[in-house]
Amino acid sequence: MPNKNNKKIHKKILIVEDDLPTLEAVALEISKKGIHADTALNGEEAIEKIKREKYDLILLDLLLPKKSGFEVIKEVRADAASKNIKIVVFSNLGQNGNVEKAVELGADKYFIKSDISIKDLIDEILKNL
């Protein structure tokens, strides 16, 4: 009989964050929940991985090298193969214009790093899988 508590074990998340300590902390906490976490340090690497792999959710910073989080959202939503992936933004950019722009481009949720703990962020991610 399948264990209903393990239903999320096959989920796969891509964490896109250029701050290595934040990236590692979030990836570790997600892995502890039994969810596979891939990582990317910049927007270009994220797009390459999204084209190769199937993800259930992308946790995305906006201030990234090579390609911004805004550009990543736009590309993900424009591609038929990835347009339905849930996108959760986790950024220091908290001004209304940035939040609105991310949501208009297709972000499903938006969290400001200084306003949420990693534990609470993980709880929100689990709700969206």
Q: Tell me which fold the domain 10-128 belongs to.
A: Rossmann fold (3.40.50)
Report the sign of the C-alpha dihedral through residues 99, 17, 58, 115, in that order: negative
Identity at 40, one-letter amino acid code: A
pLDDT at res. 2: 44
SS3 label, residue 12: strand
Q: What is the pLDDT of residues 6-24, one digit of tens each?
A: 444 589 999 999 999 999 9
Give me the residue spans of the domains in the chain.
Answer: 10-128
Record the pTM.
Answer: 0.88
